[in-house]
Amino acid sequence: MKRFPKNNPFVFDVVNRLHQLSLATSPEWYNTIDQRGLSNLYFETLQAVISIQLDEPWNETIPGGSQGQEAALMFQVWMAGLSLFIWGTVRQVRVRLGQALTRCICDPLFARVKDLLEGTGSYHAWPRGKSLEPVMATLFYGVESCDFSSPWRNWCVESLSKVTEILKLKSAEEFSKALDNFPSTEGYKEAAGKLWVEMKSGGGRNPPTLTLSPLQ
């Protein structure tokens, strides 16, 4: 909760749901949970995420000016990407159980996140400090939710590399520790170190090089 502005109870609600989903799909509990209940949890969580995207309740509490614009962008990206967390979690369970993977039909979600991050000002208008960390988590969820051959995966890896550079993360340990502030699963935790190696070895087609102004 410390990664978000105060007085936004909807964040607690959705994070709590994602945490429940993480526990319910873990190897420790998955086989003992009623699958109908788990199915209900998937859909209820997805409904909550979509409702918040549409209602944008943060507009009632964030301040005006550039600080408010950064907070609004942070919330918009975070909420647009939470469906990717749900999809990525489903993929992880399927891989663990040896089930066939279906293609992620999430193009509108990725397009929404991309439009938000590459809109007016591009990375110059991104949130800074702790407010950028939810964007980092969203891109991480995006990487884990799509096929390795997907062009969206490549875009997420490149954008995530930009974010880690701005946040001045220097190691896989720092990257994993920052991600630990957000909803996760055992699968996501295992993927963090591998993804760090991929980013730093130029895993994207066009590894980004940033030249930041003194104000950034």
Q: What value does the mean pLDDT take over residues 177-183?
A: 94
pLDDT: which is higher, 142 or 64: 142
Report in angstroms the alpha-carbon separations of 114 from 71, 119, 193: 17, 8, 24
**Residue 210 within a domain:** no
Asked if residue 215 belongs to a domain, the reply is no
Query: Exposure of 125 by Cβ count < 10 A (0-12 exposed, 13-18 middle, 19+ buried)?
Result: middle
Quickly state the pLDDT bin for 63 (edges 50, 70, 90): confident
Contact status, residue 80 vs residue 112, Cβ threshold 8 Å: yes
Tell me the pLDDT of the chain averaged across its residues: 87
Looking at the predicted structure, is the pLDDT value of residue 137 above 70?
A: yes
User: Please, are residues 179 and 192 in contact by the beta-carbon 8 Å criterion?
Assistant: yes
Q: Is residue 48 part of a domain?
A: yes
The number of distinct structural domains making up the chain is 1
pLDDT of residue 101: 78
Longest dimension (CA), the chain: 55
**The token pair that represents 137 in the structure block:** 């988590």
Say how far apart CA 37 and CA 144 lie, in whole Å: 24
Mean per-residue pLDDT, 118-143: 88
Q: Is the pLDDT of residue 211 over 50?
A: no
Within a domain: 162: yes
CA distance 101 to 170: 34
Domain assignment present for residue 130? The answer is yes
- Does residue 195 sit within a domain? yes
Q: Packing angle between helix 133-145 and helix 151-166, nearest 10 degrees?
A: 160
Please return the burial class of 30, using the count of CB atoms within 10 Å of its CB with bins 0-12, 13-18 and 19+: middle
Q: How confident is the model at residue 203 (pLDDT cuts 50, 70, 90)?
A: low
In which band, very low, low, confident or very high, does the pLDDT at 205 lie, cut at 50, 70 and 90?
Answer: very low
Q: Has residue 116 been placed in a domain?
A: yes
Q: Looking at residue 216, what is its pLDDT?
A: 33
Please check whether residue 127 lies inside any domain of the structure. yes
Domain ranges, residue 157: 9-200
The pLDDT of residue 215 is 33
pTM of the model: 0.88
